Amino acid sequence: MRIAFVTAEIAPFSKTGGLGDVSAAFPKAMQGLGHKIVIITPLYKSIDTKKFRLQLVKENIIAKIGEKVELFDLYVSFIPHSKVPVYFIKNPYLYREGIYVDEDGEDYSDSAYRFLTFTKSVFAMLRWLKFSPDIIHCNDWHTGLLPFFLKTEYNDVDLFKKSKSVFTIHNIGYQGIYPFEDIADAELADVYFDEDLLGFYGKINFMKGAIVYSDILTTVSSKYAEEIQTKEFGYGLESFIEQRKEDLYGIVHGVDLNVWNPKSDPLLVKNYDSKNLKGKTESKSYLQDKLNLNVSDLPILGVISRLATQKGLDLILEKFDDIMKLKVQFILLGTGEPELEKKFKKKEEKYHENSSINIMFDNTLAHQIEAAADIFLMPSKYEPCGLNQLYSMIYGTVPLVRNTGGLSDTVQNYDPKTEEGTGFVFENPNVKEFFAAVKRAVKVYKEEPEKWLKLKKKIMNLDFTWKNAAKQWQKVYELAQDKKR
């Protein structure tokens, strides 16, 4: 099949979270099955065009937004160590330094227009390339208008006559809701703003557009596929999802072992595998030293996360003093809501010998924490798929998670009696259940080191490759192809 994969971020060029990782790993897996896949993404100013050897393909391609003309230049490069081409839309007036937010962390005031134009630019560049996709695979709200345009404005364009759209919901908490005026330049007929189509309480909702118009909908775990049909998780879109449940599939991501693998990870001080864990011990003392913590064998609890309400970090904050009383160390890496940043920094002042709060985005440190930590905390309120729990397991770091979304699909609660399970799971998002899980984990770590070692080795040997997921994806693409326009 010919696949156009459209995304707002892709590692290592641009990344704020899991979507960036997946946008690189997924297309590689699909190319591995023999498909012809191209990726299309904006060229943000923060992307190092020299380092990544971007080549100019064509200048001044026209994207028409109603009567308005937006010119862009098309560049190409490849995902490192692969043959998957990544096409970049260069429009420096729209794709500035940040991916979603400006230097002050504020949403760009023209967000709706930026991603409307991105969508239109995708059609324009595919036409220029004469690339007729069987599947246009769109991701999250930034690409939400693409399935809509495919079924309306581009419905009769020869190049796209056979194209089917697949839309993946990576996080329904971000929908792209804006006043209609923000996309007035598109000159859409009023009928499309109906509440059954793009309209949402008198505004435009990009993600809803995709839920209504895409041929197939997917999300990133089977549990999350169920959850988003409920009021608690659907963020107002639950009834629209439910209407399309026959076309909804939940597929958990794999992990790209070329990037996340303790055996070969160049960012670690020492590599290791499940047969020889010396490198993990060295990674721990190295990081303790680097972050000015006491070098000791106290269990390290690690967190790498966007500091967003979604991630349930308030549970950690509320129980911080009690957690420290268990005699553990705590390392956090993250950026996000200023309030959370401040609160964690305060905790660091109080427990500076045994806690390290790193408010920054630092890929090297992320890899080093995965290797150094003993327990990885993800007490998320909701978690569509989650990648860090998978990375943790591969690095022999036991995940402690809430039973939601992808965490539920990928981590089974550990019972020290039977030694079944792969992590520590708690059910409801309250401090009591969360802290009980922390105590259970620390207890096994401290009191039953042999069992802990066995658990570590077990999770390192689980299969998180893309093999399974890619096969499921193949089927979903076939189903999309069978859809009538």
Residues 6+ apart with CB under 8 A from 296: 288, 329
Nearest to ligand ADP of 258, 296 (CB atom): 258
- Rounded Cα gap, residues 240 and 198, in angstroms: 11
Quick note: the x/- pattern for ligand ADP over 284-323, rule CB under 6 A, is: --------------------xxx-----------------
Nearest to ligand ADP of 19, 54 (CB atom): 19
Judged by CB under 6 A, does residue 9 bind ligand ADP?
A: no
CA max distance for the chain: 70
Q: With contacts defined by CB under 6 A, name the span among 197-205, 357-365, 412-420, 476-484 that binds ligand ADP.
A: 357-365
Q: How far is the CB of 269 from ligand ADP (least distance, A)?
A: 18
Q: Element (H or E) spanning 206, and its range?
A: helix 206-213
Judged by CB under 6 A, does residue 163 bind ligand ADP?
A: no
Judged by CB under 6 A, does residue 18 bind ligand ADP?
A: yes
Q: How far is the CB of 301 from ligand ADP (least distance, A)?
A: 16
Judged by CB under 6 A, does residue 100 bind ligand ADP?
A: no
Judged by CB under 6 A, does residue 334 bind ligand ADP?
A: yes
Q: How far is the CB of 334 from ligand ADP (least distance, A)?
A: 5
Nearest to ligand ADP of 312, 334 (CB atom): 334
Which of 221, 335, 356, 397 touches ligand ADP by CB under 6 A? 335
Residues 20-49 interacting with ligand ADP (rule: CB under 6 A): 21
Sheet architecture: strand order including 398-402: 355-358, 329-336, 300-307, 375-378, 398-402, 424-426
Which of 46, 55, 294, 363 touches ligand ADP by CB under 6 A? 363
Tokens 């695979």: give the residue.
Answer: 137
Judged by CB under 6 A, does residue 386 bind ligand ADP?
A: yes
Q: With contacts defined by CB under 6 A, name the span among 239-247, 330-338, 422-430, 475-483 that binds ligand ADP.
A: 330-338
Which of 387, 441, 470, 480 touches ligand ADP by CB under 6 A? 387
DSSP string, 306-355: EE-GGG-HHHHHHTHHHHHHT--EEEEEEEE-HHHHHHHHHHHHHTTTTE
CB atoms within 10 A of CB 67: 7
Residue whose CB is nearest to ligand ADP in the complex, by number: 18
Q: With contacts defined by CB under 6 A, name the span among 188-196, 341-349, 355-363, 431-439 that binds ligand ADP.
A: 355-363
What is the phi/psi pair of residue 58, to 5°? Answer: -160, 135
> Six-digit token pair at 308?
């967003």
- Rounded Cα gap, residues 282 and 81, in angstroms: 28
Quick note: the x/- pattern for ligand ADP over 211-250, rule CB under 6 A, is: ----------------------------------------
Q: How far is the CB of 333 from ligand ADP (least distance, A)?
A: 5
What's the Rg (C-alpha) of the chain? 23
- Rounded Cα gap, residues 417 and 414, in angstroms: 9
Which of 333, 394, 438, 460 touches ligand ADP by CB under 6 A? 333
DSSP state of 14: B
CB 314 within 8 A of CB 320: no
- Rounded Cα gap, residues 475 and 282, in angstroms: 43
Tokens 């207890």: give the residue.
Answer: 443
Q: Which residues form the interface with ligand ADP (CB under 6 A)?
A: 17-19, 21, 304-306, 333-335, 361-363, 366, 385-388
